[in-house]
Amino acid sequence: MTIHYERDDTGVVTLTMDLTGSVNVMNAEYRAAMGAAVSRLEAERDKVTGVLLTSAKKTFFAGGDLAVLVGVERDDLGDTMAFVADVKGQLRRLERLGRPVVAVIEGSALGGGLEIALACHHRVVLDDDRIRLGLPEVTLGLLPGGGGVTRLVRMLGPRAALPLLTEGTRLRPEAAAEAGIVDAVASTPAELRDRARAWIAANPDPVQPWDRRGFTVPGTAGSEYAGLLASAPAMLRKKTHGVYPAPEKILAAAIEGTLVDVDTALEVESRYFVELLTGQVAKNMIGTYWFALNAITAGAARPSGVPPTSVTKVGVVGAGLMGSGIAAVCAAAGLEVVLKDVTREAAERGARGLPGITPTDSDADLAGCDPVIEAVYEDRPLKRRVLGDVAAVVSRDAVIASNTSTLPITGLADAVADPSRVIGLHFFSPVPRMRLVEIVVGARTSDDTLARAFDFVRHIGKTPIVVNDARGFYTSRVFGAYVTEGVALVAEGVGPALVENVARRSGMAVGPLAVSDEVALTLPLAIREQTLAEDPDASGVFADHPALDVLADLVGQGRTGRSGGGGFYEYPADGPKRLWPGLSRYRREVDVPERDVEDRLLFAQVLETVRCLDEGVLRSVGEADVGSVLGLGFAPWSGGTLQFVNAYGPAAFVARADELADRYAERFRAPESLRELARVGGKY
């Protein structure tokens, strides 16, 4: 079997999980192997003094088999409930064996892995900073369905357990011990096993707390718990806006489970788990946050013929907000960084005294850096001059990158004698927090340059998507569609507060007016000016959108955004930001239902994504979805812009887009490619 059973001369049985594949997952193979192991333990109980549960893999246990789970439909409910009940029944038999069972954890135990460990009487973990423990199912639209909700609430009480469950927190070993998830931390594998065996010897007849007569779930008595019951749903609703069902089902399973015995609580948990599993949100999130994201980080878009490369020294030109953020992230990844600006004082401010960053005002100090990333103001002549200066001092094969957010890379690359070395590395603000980097391939960018840029992005811990060159690439075009649609709604007379609230309710991280203030209202205007200067017949979000006139009006009044003291919002020193009362000048009675506001904000982004796919800017559906949620904060519950179409149904989406086009503007008209997808019953 793939759970190896070995009993030593002291009667201690070591169960070593070693399922087929690189990681242990909770699938049919696991079900059969664990069932056999537990049955043998029960049959040989009189010869057993204790059990060590271990893993032969680098990780302890990876969790449920998502390749199977994502395909579960409502027609499969009976089989799925039977599978879940059997897996849980095995763990209940294990914890009621009447012999001490200790989880010996030498690798990460996430999701189902931690659920297995929680069913043991004692948990010891290796003190390795790479190890993580937690129940992150909520990040995939699910809840822990293997007993995690039930046991964690009974161990810690609802107040301590709920944040770990609803936020999917992943803890290092020491933090997990402090939280009460594990019982002991050992510095070496030998010490780990010694401590596990010592606990077995000292506790020959353990019983789980929830199996003792008179057990009460911690923290469920008195007025404090009553206050939690009264406030928790409202607090959760404020975070989820009702579009993320998993946190709400976790709360329900946790609280309802405290009112019944443990076995009934486990069944309640199972019912909520299967309800989420067969819902569309979980399928969206699993598809993007697991399968698409894993494919991207594994290098699906990296040229296969180029050997892996390493980076040691990076140059960054421009010590403003973006440049200093890029420098800080590179330094945190252990790279030597040279940060250059027009004055040494400006470079020193950008370096902020961080170790590993050398500030300078001399191009000559960039010699030996590879790559060098230009992060100066979004101005074509300036960027071309900087790229040319960089090329003059670095090695002939060094990668030269631009952090431009909209300017086509092909045009910038002409400033370098060998444009095959030039590539776009579009970081997002704030750089330390935003995971995505959009790699932009110019018309003459070589595969070698792309591969080396990809390796660099992975080295600094970011997630790369690779797109082809065009004005605004992918993310800036979709971002532009979002913010300009929000401004256009205000221009039509819709209340600004309604626009912002509906945006957040739909799942967007920030409202379009608030985010416009953050990037500066002058930026879209500058992009329009430059776009029309280069192409007088240009159209789209960067050229002729009705929102641009409102932005020009506000900028004309000195309202340029947050950095300029105010834009759509006011920023008082003594309180939180608030919408500027002067926006009432645009307010008038209009018949724009809230549903139309929401759909316009979301459909604008989705339709721009489809256009990017049609034009060949996007190379894959997965990169479109991952880019939209990680880079733009597009309604994460949807799984991304193209998964939004799949969930809505392509035919229904086309019909709704045409409704919006007929009522508001032709920019909502569905492209022919989407109509064809709907006609053939396909999906992205």
What is the domain-level CATH number for residue 465? Answer: 3.40.50.720
The reply to whether 43 falls in a domain is yes
Tens-place pLDDT, residues 626-667: 999 999 999 999 999 999 999 999 999 999 999 999 999 999
The reply to whether 454 falls in a domain is yes
Phi/psi at 168 (5° precision): 65, 35
The whole-number pLDDT of residue 234 equals 85
Q: Taking all residues of the chain, what is their mean pLDDT, rounded to a whole number?
A: 95
Tens-place pLDDT, residues 102-160: 999 999 999 999 999 999 999 999 999 999 999 999 999 999 999 999 999 999 999 99
Query: Residue 376 pLDDT more than 80?
Result: yes
Give the helix/strand (H/E) hosting 496: helix 496-505
Which of 430, 454, 469 is the endpoint of a domain? 469
Q: How far is CA 323 from the centre of its chain?
A: 23
Query: Is 463 found in the same domain as 482?
Result: no
3-state secondary structure (DSSP) of residue 628: helix
Bin 577: left if φ > 0, else alpha if -120 < ψ < 50, else beta. Answer: beta
My answer on whether omega of the bond before 430 falls inside 30° of 0, hence cis, is yes
Query: Is 255 found in the same domain as 341?
Result: no
Name the least confident of 334-348, 383-397, 462-476, 524-538: 524-538
Query: Is 429 found in the same domain as 387?
Result: yes
Query: Residue 474 pLDDT more than 90?
Result: yes
The reply to whether 520 falls in a domain is yes
In this prediction, what percent of the chain has a pLDDT beyond 90? Answer: 89
Query: Is 420 found in the same domain as 527?
Result: no
The reply to whether 303 falls in a domain is no
Q: How far is CA 478 from the centre of its chain?
A: 18
The reply to whether 286 falls in a domain is no
Q: Which positions ≥6 away from 212 have C-beta within 8 Å?
A: none
Instruction: Tell me the DSSP string of 311-355.
Output: --EEEEE--SHHHHHHHHHHHHTT-EEEEE-SSHHHHHHHHTT-T
Which of 416, 449, 469 is the endpoint of a domain? 469
CATH number of the domain within which 154 lies: 3.90.226.10
The whole-number pLDDT of residue 300 equals 95
Mean pLDDT of 456-466: 98
Q: Which of 70, 80, 69, 73 is nearest to 270 (CA)?
A: 80
Query: Is 445 found in the same domain as 400?
Result: yes
Name the least confident of 373-377, 524-528, 623-627, 644-648: 524-528
The whole-number pLDDT of residue 271 equals 97
pLDDT category at 37 given cuts 50, 70, 90 is: very high
The whole-number pLDDT of residue 526 equals 87
The whole-number pLDDT of residue 661 equals 98
Tens-place pLDDT, residues 406-435: 999 999 999 999 999 999 999 998 999 999
Query: Is 589 found in the same domain as 675?
Result: yes
Which of 469, 490, 508 is the endpoint of a domain? 469
The reply to whether 288 falls in a domain is no
The whole-number pLDDT of residue 105 equals 98
Mean pLDDT of 167-181: 97
Q: Express the helix, strand and coil content of the chain in percent, nearest 5 each.
A: 50, 15, 35
pLDDT category at 341 given cuts 50, 70, 90 is: very high
The whole-number pLDDT of residue 230 equals 82
Tokens encoding 373: 């990333």
CATH number of the domain within which 593 lies: 1.10.1040.50
The whole-number pLDDT of residue 536 equals 81
Query: Is 538 found in the same domain as 507?
Result: yes
Query: Is 185 found in the same domain as 117?
Result: yes
Mean pLDDT of 575-598: 94
Query: Is 511 found in the same domain as 443?
Result: no
pLDDT category at 542 given cuts 50, 70, 90 is: confident
pLDDT category at 601 given cuts 50, 70, 90 is: very high
The reply to whether 299 falls in a domain is no
Tens-place pLDDT, residues 276-305: 999 999 999 999 999 999 999 999 999 998
3-state secondary structure (DSSP) of residue 568: coil
Could you tell me the CA-to-CA distances from 289 to 167, 283, 514 in Å, in that order? 15, 10, 26
The whole-number pLDDT of residue 539 equals 76
Query: Is 495 found in the same domain as 437?
Result: no
- Which range marks the domain in which residue 352 is found? 313-469
The whole-number pLDDT of residue 628 equals 97
Mean pLDDT of 447-472: 97
Query: Is 161 found in the same domain as 19?
Result: yes
Mean pLDDT of 302-309: 94
The whole-number pLDDT of residue 235 equals 84
Query: Is 568 found in the same domain as 429?
Result: no
Tokens encoding 249: 């089902």
Q: Which of 326, 396, 388 is nearest to 368 (CA)?
A: 396
DSSP code for 109: E
The reply to whether 100 falls in a domain is yes
The whole-number pLDDT of residue 329 equals 97
Mean pLDDT of 35-46: 97
Tens-place pLDDT, residues 478-523: 999 999 999 999 999 999 999 999 999 999 989 999 999 999 999 8
Gap between the Cα atoms of 401 and 413, Å rounded: 9
Structural domains of the chain, count: 3
Gap between the Cα atoms of 648 and 642, Å rounded: 10
pLDDT category at 239 given cuts 50, 70, 90 is: confident
Query: Residue 257 pLDDT more than 80?
Result: yes
